[in-house]
Homo-oligomer: A and B are copies of this chain.
Amino acid sequence: MKDVSEKIMPGLTHEHHPKYFAYYTSGVSFPGTLGDILASGLSVGVFNWINCPAGTELENIVMDWFAKALGLPKYFISDSPGSVGGGVLQNSASECIFISLLVARAHVIEQLKGDSDLHDSVFLPKLVAYTSEDAHYSMEKAAKMSLTRIRLIKTDSRGKMRVDVFKEAVLNDINNGLIPFFVMATLGTTGSAAYDNVYEIGKFSKTIPYMWFHIDGAYGANAFILPEMRRFGEGMEYADSMNVNACKMLLVNFESSAMWVKDVMIMKKALSANPVYLQHDNENKVSAIDYRNYGISLTRRMRSAKFWFVFRTYGLVGLQNHVRKLLILAKKFEKLVLDDDRFEVVNEVHLGLVCFRLKHSDDKTEKLLNIITNSRKMFMVPARLNDKFVIRYCVMYEYTEERHIIESWKVITEVATHILGQSGCTNGSLNGHP
């Protein structure tokens, strides 16, 4: 522990600190940590029902709870009447997106192939996936790993996928003999926390043969725990699959990426193989879920434990209060920026993220960010939005208070004053640690 203190702690970027406003964080809470300790200590492999009945069933239960808490479509909830869907915990949103793409690809190929004995790959050059240019980069990576073509659809001035451009691209591709097979909409983009128009994208996608509709709600869908935020998710009922990272807003420690599919059999078909040593008497029972067929890995940690501990400890109301607090603090910061006419806010602030910049200058905004980062008083990261360099300021931590928002704004304005050549602080005053 001496080495942890002396060698590890000084070399960490402390994501869970009230002055960390950079990436969407990996999440932490005391109950979440306790649940994860349980998973570590038990160290059971949740890969098929017989090797871990309780781990399998708990995962299924918490995925149902989580879907209900967010108001997700009923067909994602395994215990809904008539549902053939369900949830699973993956390691990351990147993994959820990649798996969705693999499943959709297998599904379209199966339909195109029919009874022919063509090699599956002959259909690949025709397949096209779509997402917005502001979607998470893992979608581009997933397409690269899947050898499928991807179109990054232009976004509007607020970072939302332009549905008109998307429709045109799809129809154009069909006219050229290509096969649109996958579209991903984002609820809460990485750059600006924009909510894509899920309703329009979903509705249109259902008119296109073979099109799989995936929703990446990694960050923004967590907010649906507040019923008043669900208007941003209208149209979710068109989705074939969806992912939400509970670590990004709901106090479950990373890795905690929930993924749901409308029809688990399509997923199992794409991801299964069945050697003798994994066979067991109960495997054909509907209730005996074998999670190895829901993802890439065979053995998997009992990730459900930390969800269970968090849900039970905070309760729905406790989690709602936490999310409301984050949104209020972000609005507080937005107001501070708007009240200073040297700055502009460049995104719609519905969630915890405020994207801002010095008016009229990429260079000065970048300089502002660099000086602040090097001062180590707080941590933010850049993004590009409408071809402008912007700074992302994201409130995520459980114990961030209003005073931290005010203090951080003081740091930003002091450096801005310095850069803009007005009187005020010197660079020297920014040295040292907060």
Contact = CB atoms under 8 A, between A and B. Distances in A.
**In the assembly, how many copies of this chain are there?**
2
Interface in A102-133: 102, 119-122, 124-125
Contact of A271 (B33, B92, B145): B145
Interface stretch (A43-51, A157-165, A205-213, A323-331): A43-51
A350 to B, nearest CB: 19
Contact of A27 (B4, B7, B43, B91): B43
Given A44-B26, A271-B145, A299-B255, A276 B13 contact: no
Interface in A250-301: 253-255, 270-279, 296-301
A94 interface: yes
Interface stretch (A52-60, A76-84, A335-343): A52-60
A357 interface: no
A317 interface: no
A37 interface: yes
Interface in A341-363: none
Given A27-B43, A54-B12, A297-B92, A277 B191 contact: yes
Given A12-B44, A276-B382, A298 B138 contact: yes
A372 to B, nearest CB: 14
Interface stretch (A15-23, A180-188, A233-241): A15-23
Contacts of A274: 137
A141 B271 contact: yes
Contacts of A254: 43, 45, 299, 301
A93 interface: yes
Interface in A200-232: none
A40 interface: yes
Interface centre among A37, A279, A298, A301 (most CB of B within 10 A): A298
Contacts of A147: 119-121, 124, 147
Nearest to A278: B137
Interface residues of A, number: 86
Interface centre among A12, A275, A392 (most CB of B within 10 A): A275
Contacts of A53: 11-13
B275 A137 contact: yes
A155 interface: no
B15 A43 contact: yes
Nearest to A96: B297
Contacts of A141: 271-273
Nearest to A272: B141
Given A28-B42, A91-B297, 18 more contacts: A3-B312, A4-B38, A12-B54, A13-B44, A25-B43, A26-B45, A28-B41, A32-B40, A36-B37, A37-B37, A43-B247, A94-B296, A94-B298, A137-B278, A138-B273, A140-B273, A141-B271, A277-B381
